[in-house]
Chain A
Amino acid sequence: MKLYIYGIIDSSNQITESTYGLEGSNIYNIPFCNIGAVVSQISQPIQDVTEGAVLKHEAVVEKLMADFTVLPVRFQTLIEGRDNLLSMMRSYYRDFKNNLERLRDKFEFGIKVIWPADKIKENIIKTLNKEQQKKLELGSSPSNKFMKDKFDKYKIDKEFEAKADKFIKVMDIFFSKFAAEKRIEKLKTENLLLDAVYLVEKDKESNFREAVEHIKTARYDFKYLFSGPWPAYNFVILSKKSGLLTDSQQTSLLNKVTQDQMLVGVDSI
Chain B
Amino acid sequence: MIAATDVTKRFGDFVALDHVSVDIASGSLTALLGPSGSGKSTLLRVIAGLEAPDAGAVVLEGVDVTAVPAQQRDIGFVFQHYAAFKHMTVRENVAFGLKVRKRPKAEIRAKVDELLGVVGLAGYQERYPSQLSGGQRQRMALARALAIEPKVLLLDEPFGALDAKVRAELRAWLRRLHEEVHVTTVLVTHDQEEAMELADSIVVLNDGRIEQVGAPRELYDVPANDFVMGFLGPVARVGDGLVRPHDLVLRADPDSGTIEAQVERVIHLGFEVRVVLELAGGDRVDAQLTRHEAEELELHPGDIVFVRTPGSGPRARPTISLA
Whether A associates with B in a native complex is no
